[in-house]
Structure 1
Amino acid sequence: MMRASSLDPFRNPASVAVVGASDDQSKWGYWLAQGALSGKHRRPVYLVNSSAQTVQGEPAFPNVSALPEAPELLVLCVPPRFVEGVVVEALAKGVKAFLGITAGVPNEAHLGELIRAAGARIIGPNSLGLYDGSAELQLAWGHFTAGGLAIVSQSGQLGSEIANLSARAGLGVSRFISVGNQLDVNAAELLDDLIDHDATRLIALYLESFADGAQLVRTLRALAEAGKRTILLTTGASEGSQRLARSHTGSLTSAQDTVDAACRAAGAIRVSTPTELVNVARYLSVAPTPSGRRVAVVSDSGGQGGIAADVAAACGLSTPVFSAALQSSLAEILPAGAAVSNPVDLAGAGEADLNAYADLSRHLLESGEVDAVVLSGYLGCYGEDNPPLEAAELAVIDSMGQAVRSSRLPLIVHSMSVGSRAVSRMWEHGIPAFAGIEFALKTVAQAAHLTDWPGRDITAPGTGTGTWAPGYWAARGLLADLGIAAPAGRLISSGQDLAAAAAELKFPVVLKAGWLEHKSEHGGVKLGLGSLEQLAAAYQDMLKRLGDGEYVVEEQDGRPNAVEVLVGARQDRDFGPLIAVGAGGTEAELHRDVCVELAPVDHPTALSMIRRLKCLPLLTGWRGKPATDIDALAAIITAVSATIAANPGITELEVNPIRVAPEGAVAVDALVVTATAVTELATATA
């Protein structure tokens, strides 16, 4: 990862030149020149315009060669056809860093080669600009207020939208970087450069593509370990090479599944809209993350409390019933008959005495029974609607702020007011306040994600050197090497091997056409063969229909109460090795019940994957049936994940189905696809 000196000119350049500076406010050159000049007390600023002697009251130079020195950072804002000529001239002058604003530059690849050959760097082209608050560096359209949020965006305009929404929410920007086409400097490098950027506390990241996603994950995790959380907004790119996927795993996992898995490994949060991003950033800028997902809901309206409870459930939060002792203490504060089990209904207590809000908040925050408290309703409106009550309302909020600081738990308010003094005071006390209950609870749930998934190591355990033959029999050998149990079986090369197989194995048995990847779809598997005669008949039938090949006979797993599960792994084009577990069998695509993580995973992470499946009740004992051995299943997940991570030559590895029973887990089919096989398939289908 390149950083340090090669990126220093983009952090705090010693001098700046704007090529294409203008007096015309409708042109980019005007705003870039104006922004650069706002920092002229920090550094020399040179304006280049081939047809003007002055720009914005400052001397202008006709070209780069005429500058008195080589600027440390040069901004390219000229028509596309002139960009290469300016770059060649600037490189000859000794320029080592470029900010490329111009879009549609001809032959960008050649431009990149010229810059790299000279040992120089470029952000862009097609960048919307650069801003650093602590360095007083503004080379972008518009205005910024310094703060703690860094914005790194592949879309310049969307980055500007995030900056504008942040400003309206009172969040300032530490650094703004529109990465543009990433001809040279990429998003991962710029993010890495934020690790030791003192002004940055949070990162807003918008990406449309995830080249070298594994490095990106490592960088985001390093940011998290430095106390800087990343909030990711994406359009769901990173489709990977699923067009050639040959297993169920490839068809079951989506690009967004992969991005979410990357966020879990990185300790980052994915959001769906710029508004969500700013809500989360604003929350994290003042409030602690919940230590869990238990939420107390308090409202001064039964209807609002009921809606809040429903929204909480939809967001993956729980509203647990309070203990008898806590309910009793709450009842002492509230009118007789008020609901105190959770949600809590103030039943007019707030109107009778505003201190009820603070008293209830303190009781709940100190109870040890919840991880966050959400107040929904009229608080924030009392002083706005009735000015004589404003002082009392502000005093109550001050008291609530003390309770938050004492408990170190988050208190979040859904207020019917948007901008009252009371709402502003809440934010001052680290009490996030939102105008909609859905925003309040969704933000709490997203913050709790950081507790659930703080980030983890995805370093591969080493590079394997094995070679793998095609077919099911070879796959069984790999399973044996991994310690994954499979039924006793025998390879059948001809009909003469059937009698030996019948003598060695216990009936009933299964006959499989081992070279087929999806056996059941081609009639390549026959279950429940109870005798040598039935086995021979099935073999002759398959031989007639499918031809010569590798056939396998194995004992049929007939253990009762077994559940069929899929464990699959594949190499993603952008993020590298992935591991998945889901409902298995021939109906896997129908159920589409799957959890995905970046590989490798450890045993606790494998267990968490299993527990997130919709089919979990089948594994833990459905309707009186005994629980299955999910620890054995987790062991298979970890083994497969380690194998795909250590062996880039394996493109896909799927074990499906695995029959998980109370007595353990047995793999009854498997598929291994190598890079060579995928290349051959791509060539054949080209």
Structure 2
Amino acid sequence: MSIRNLDSLFAPASIAVFGASLRVGSVGATVWHNLSSGHYQGALYAVNPKHHKLGNHPVVAKASDLPEVPALAVICTPPASVPGLIETLGRLGTRAAVVMTAGMNDQQKQAMLDAAGAHLLRILGPNCIGLLAPHQGLNASFSHIDAQPGEVAFVSQSGALVTAMLDWAQGRGIGFSYFVSLGEHADVDFGDMLDYLASDAKTRAILLYAESIESPRKFMSAARAAARNKPVIVVKAGRSALGQLAAASHTGALAGSDMVFEAAIARAGMLRVNTLQELFLAAETLSRFRTNTSETITILTNGGGAGVMAADAAAFAEVELTQLSGSTRQKLDAVLPANWSHGNPVDIIGDAPVSRYEQALQVLKDDPGSGAVLFIHAPTAIVPSADIARALVPLAQHQPGMPPRLMSCWLGDKAVQQARQLFQDADIASFDTPEQAISAFSMLQRYRRNQAELMEAPPALLAELRPDTATIRALVLDALASGREMLTEPEAKAVLDACHIPVVPTRRIRATAAAAVKAALTIGFPVVLKILSDDISHKSDVGGVALNLQDENDVRAAARTMLARVKRQQPNARIQGFTVQAMVRRPHAQELIVGSTIDPVFGPVILFGQGGTAVEVTADRAIALPPLNEPLARALVSRTRVARLLAGWRDTPAVDEAALHRVLVAVSQLLAEIPEIAELDINPLIVNFEGAMALDARIRLSAAAPAGASNFAIRPYPAQLEETVQWQGRDLFLRPIRPEDEALHMAFLQQLDPEDVRMRVFYTRRNIERSELARLVQIDYAREMAFVAQATGPDGQLQTLGVARAMADPDNVDAEFGVIVRSDLKGTGLGRLLMEKLVAYLRAQGTQRLVATVLDYNERMLKLARDMGFQEDPTSKNGEGTKGIFLPLT
């Protein structure tokens, strides 16, 4: 249901507390005290049939006795009473409730939801501590502590953590825009909260404490939309590996749910941290310093020991210290004493006067190559720390439109308290220790990588890598029809071959030494012999693989030994035969694993890491959510330790990384096209400078079809919506917008007449900030669509001629649209062509209405709207000189 009626929850005009009392220690008494003694300015009512008054406040017996319909109900009554109470409130017109009641059974919760759904009444809880909205003076919780107003929203699944966090934050003067306990999140969940907070003007950063995620596509869509607007930082409990029961593939055993959650956070452009302290550290960094894009850092300090500590922390966090240029060192020589450190960290010596701080910082500020600057100060008796802070603030403050360069660390407590406050008041990121500052910079780098992944929008299929789905589907259907879930090794390799993944040719033979020798002679020595059995998934575990067999005697002996060993170790295994393949020897080859499995929350996932028989022991792997493209495949590889080996070292050349990335993208496309793929292993996949080749493969199927693009947590680029039509005697390409359209879209906007732009978006700029442009072309297809019309220009280059865009509300009830065409093409019918495509798409998505606000004198747009059946909306609240229009789609 998402954000519908959430304003009644977080900014209610009136509140009724059901179960309000004065009984010490009761939830109803605590909630009533928090609301009645706080700063809430709306009407407040108490409901309890056992009381007539609470102090001097009158109490009514039931909801129908209230003098008005409350906007928000806070329910602290027994479990059995809740469904009926929700039904009554919904019928009266209440649109939100906080259900603090614990102990509701499944039947009661479902009855509550059914009653609420009939009236679009939103429920927070049950079994929650409640919510606080400090800017509204609202404390609808049974927390023992109130929250201070601030710019950070905190949403938690844990009630105990809510009260602990409030206590922790109060002692540090940390304020909140909202503080929300989700409880059992039967209705309002993380997705709803992210949607609501993403557009909330009072919220600068969103902090989440999560234990589990339901509705993954909803969560990912909301998270990706929120993360485009402001930092979203997540603490996820339960880092221990879950879901690692016996599986038919290495991937199934390795892909623990926490790793998948980590991958989802990265793909959504959020930042994951491990502790509550890191949560606020990240909020401080991303709120004040996130536009800094430096990859290296320069440490400026008045204490050598502090500089060394920072350098050690940087090495541990893999943060690179800037190599100071010769010019910068010369300039520092001119303003620092001869015994300064002459490198990074820049130690300006403990006796530094204010002027030395100013001069050194100015030198680093004048050199963009010095990267970010971490200023560390230890208090001395030479000069008060506050004097240094006052002198540095004008230099340290970042100018409008320019990214910040300076992070600060004032070591100590009372002696630097005023200096630290001066920097904080100047919006300069400040940290208590060098280790905190370096950790914050490392978080920022990780956050930027995640933001880059957020902006990627690959299709489910790339035309140049499109698999031979007919061949694959025939193999899959034959296996399932015969009652098998596991494909044989030759079948699995045939699937990979149909995906254009190079495989070593493999022969299937009878389980006899003679057949093995004959096959080996045909293939040529050396060869590899493997057991073939539907009952044996990991062949190496039972001695079912023999490598580097050099002649007939080796093959004969290996075949006999293998059959005997398998019979001893797995006597019930059904042996279908052997497979024989050439022994592949590639110089400087790395053994890797590529696989996929189905996560119970996020659906299909892809695994990459170091391969071989010790894959579980080395545990060097990373997870990504499909769909993948080359940049996302490269990012997946970079998150492993083996990535360093792939880059080459000493006399070992770098591997063909493009070939590796093609394999990962091919697996992504296989999952999109063949929903019956439940698990897949390519292990080992050998890669060197010559390319990649799969030596072994394992595929498990499921008739339940858990894969397929429809089960991806992230909606792929909808390539199926692309079309070419004839328009004015030339080809016109109509398709969804993509991130790669950024340059074309900027050129399109620059060619528009300013008045056309104003009539479309109510301002006259043709040049927009890159961040704003990025949001126009980097969209989440789950909730927004923009169709562009493109054609080849006179210079042979592609041009954007027009765009129609619609953004659906999270409930998919209304979609607000806009359409604009190049100024010289007005009146050609291009706008209608784009609108018809947009309308057809929204109807297919189940959107109920298409709406827009149009300037009164935009006659061309109003005529197009009338011709297409739009109506004027008398209920819309528009500014002077505008009209609201709508088109019913259902």
Rounded to whole Å, the distance in 2 between the matches of 1:414 and 1:310 is 16
Rounded to whole Å, the distance in 1 between the matches of 2:459 and 2:441 is 33
Provide the residue aligned with 1:682 in structure 2. Answer: none
Residue 539 of structure 2 corresponds to residue 519 of structure 1:
yes
Rounded to whole Å, the distance in 1 between the matches of 2:40 and 2:117 is 33
- The Cα offsets for residues 517-546 of structure 1, whole Å up to 9 and x where unpaired, read as 211111222222334554455445545545
**SS of structure 2 residue aligned to 1:452:** helix
Provide the residue aligned with 1:440 in structure 2. Answer: 437
Contact preservation (8 Å) 1:288, 1:410: no
Which deviates more from structure 2 when the two are superposed, residues 139-148 or residues 478-487? 139-148
Residue 436 of structure 2 corresponds to residue 418 of structure 1:
no
**SS of structure 1 residue aligned to 2:292:** coil
- The Cα offsets for residues 446-503 of structure 1, whole Å up to 9 and x where unpaired, read as 1222222204257771798946232211110111011111112222246586577346
Amino acid of the residue matched to residue 100 of structure 1?
V
Q: Within 5 Å, give how 1:541-556 maps onto structure 2.
A: 541-543=561-563, 545=566, 548-556=575-583
Q: Within 5 Å, give how 1:364-403 maps onto structure 2.
A: 364-378=364-378, 381=379, 389=384, 392-402=387-397
Provide the residue aligned with 2:234 in structure 1. Answer: 232
Which deviates more from structure 2 when the two are superposed, residues 284-293 or residues 563-572? 284-293
Structure 1 residue 66, shift from structure 2 partner? 1.9
Residue 481 of structure 2 corresponds to residue 482 of structure 1:
no
Residue 587 of structure 2 corresponds to residue 599 of structure 1:
no
Contact preservation (8 Å) 2:307, 2:345: yes
Q: Within 5 Å, give how 1:582-597 maps onto structure 2.
A: 582-597=609-624
Structure 1 residue 651, shift from structure 2 partner? 1.9
Contact preservation (8 Å) 1:365, 1:409: no
Rounded to whole Å, the distance in 2 between the matches of 1:363 and 1:168 is 38
Structure 1 residue 566, shift from structure 2 partner? 0.9
Amino acid of the residue matched to residue 254 of structure 1?
G
Structure 1 residue 28, shift from structure 2 partner? 3.1
Structure 1 residue 311, shift from structure 2 partner? 0.8
User: CA distance change for structure 1 residues 671 and 398 in 2, over 3 Å: closer, same or farther?
Assistant: same
Q: Within 5 Å, give how 1:655-666 maps onto structure 2.
A: 655-666=682-693
Provide the residue aligned with 2:122 in structure 1. Answer: 121
Provide the residue aligned with 2:549 in structure 1. Answer: 529
Residue 651 of structure 2 corresponds to residue 624 of structure 1:
yes
Rounded to whole Å, the distance in 2 between the matches of 1:81 and 1:68 is 25
User: CA distance change for structure 1 residues 106 and 518 in 2, over 3 Å: closer, same or farther?
Assistant: closer
Provide the residue aligned with 2:771 in structure 1. Answer: none
Provide the residue aligned with 2:183 in structure 1. Answer: 180
User: CA distance change for structure 1 residues 633 and 180 in 2, over 3 Å: closer, same or farther?
Assistant: same
Rounded to whole Å, the distance in 1 between the matches of 2:282 and 2:309 is 21
Contact preservation (8 Å) 2:87, 2:116: no
Residue 261 of structure 2 corresponds to residue 266 of structure 1:
no
Which deviates more from structure 2 when the two are superposed, residues 630-639 or residues 405-414? 405-414
Structure 1 residue 60, shift from structure 2 partner? 1.1
Structure 1 residue 508, shift from structure 2 partner? 1.5
User: CA distance change for structure 1 residues 164 and 602 in 2, over 3 Å: closer, same or farther?
Assistant: farther
Rounded to whole Å, the distance in 2 between the matches of 1:370 and 1:112 is 60
TM-score (norm 2): 0.70
Q: CA RMSD in A?
A: 3.0
Which deviates more from structure 2 when the two are superposed, residues 579-588 or residues 209-218? 209-218
Structure 1 residue 162, shift from structure 2 partner? 3.3
Structure 1 residue 404, shift from structure 2 partner? 6.6
Amino acid of the residue matched to residue 495 of structure 2?
L
Contact preservation (8 Å) 1:309, 1:319: yes
Structure 1 residue 674, shift from structure 2 partner? 1.9
Rounded to whole Å, the distance in 1 between the matches of 2:561 and 2:386 is 89
Rounded to whole Å, the distance in 2 between the matches of 1:587 and 1:35 is 58
**SS of structure 2 residue aligned to 1:644:** helix
Rounded to whole Å, the distance in 1 between the matches of 2:46 and 2:673 is 53
Contact preservation (8 Å) 1:165, 1:275: no
- The Cα offsets for residues 281-322 of structure 1, whole Å up to 9 and x where unpaired, read as 123333344313311112212111111100112122111321
1:506 to 520, 524, 527: 524
Structure 1 residue 591, shift from structure 2 partner? 1.4
User: CA distance change for structure 1 residues 437 and 390 in 2, over 3 Å: closer, same or farther?
Assistant: closer
Which deviates more from structure 2 when the two are superposed, residues 118-127 or residues 159-168? 159-168
Task: Give the gaps of 5 or more residues in structure 2.
Answer: 462-466, 480-486, 568-573, 707-890
- The Cα offsets for residues 576-634 of structure 1, whole Å up to 9 and x where unpaired, read as 22222211110112211112222232212322333343233433334422332222112
Amino acid of the residue matched to residue 529 of structure 1?
L
Amino acid of the residue matched to residue 50 of structure 2?
S
User: CA distance change for structure 1 residues 166 and 347 in 2, over 3 Å: closer, same or farther?
Assistant: same
Contact preservation (8 Å) 2:151, 2:177: yes
Contact preservation (8 Å) 1:22, 1:56: no
**SS of structure 1 residue aligned to 2:440:** helix
Contact preservation (8 Å) 1:290, 1:371: no
Task: Give the gaps of 5 or more residues in structure 1.
Answer: 680-686
Structure 1 residue 676, shift from structure 2 partner? 4.7
2:319 to 311, 317, 337: 317
Structure 1 residue 96, shift from structure 2 partner? 4.2
Rounded to whole Å, the distance in 2 between the matches of 1:310 and 1:285 is 26
Between Structure 1 and Structure 2, how many residues are aligned? 670
1:429 to 420, 426, 430: 426
Provide the residue aligned with 1:684 in structure 2. Answer: none
Structure 1 residue 153, shift from structure 2 partner? 0.5
Structure 1 residue 643, shift from structure 2 partner? 2.3
Rounded to whole Å, the distance in 2 between the matches of 1:303 and 1:249 is 46
Contact preservation (8 Å) 1:265, 1:458: no
User: CA distance change for structure 1 residues 664 and 354 in 2, over 3 Å: closer, same or farther?
Assistant: same
TM-score (norm 1): 0.89
Rounded to whole Å, the distance in 1 between the matches of 2:10 and 2:59 is 25
Provide the residue aligned with 2:744 in structure 1. Answer: none
Contact preservation (8 Å) 1:230, 1:268: yes
**SS of structure 2 residue aligned to 1:453:** helix
1:450 to 419, 442, 447: 447
**SS of structure 2 residue aligned to 1:144:** coil
Rounded to whole Å, the distance in 2 between the matches of 1:240 and 1:213 is 18
Rounded to whole Å, the distance in 2 between the matches of 1:239 and 1:186 is 24
Amino acid of the residue matched to residue 201 of structure 1?
R
Contact preservation (8 Å) 2:680, 2:699: yes
Rounded to whole Å, the distance in 1 between the matches of 2:299 and 2:256 is 35
Amino acid of the residue matched to residue 74 of structure 1?
A
**SS of structure 2 residue aligned to 1:21:** coil
Rounded to whole Å, the distance in 2 between the matches of 1:214 and 1:371 is 38
Rounded to whole Å, the distance in 2 between the matches of 1:56 and 1:155 is 33
Structure 1 residue 564, shift from structure 2 partner? 0.9
Q: Within 5 Å, give how 1:77-116 maps onto structure 2.
A: 77-80=76-79, 82-84=81-83, 86-87=85-86, 89-91=88-90, 93-107=92-106, 108-116=108-116
Identity across the alignment (%): 31
Residue 221 of structure 2 corresponds to residue 203 of structure 1:
no
Structure 1 residue 34, shift from structure 2 partner? 4.2
Contact preservation (8 Å) 2:244, 2:253: yes
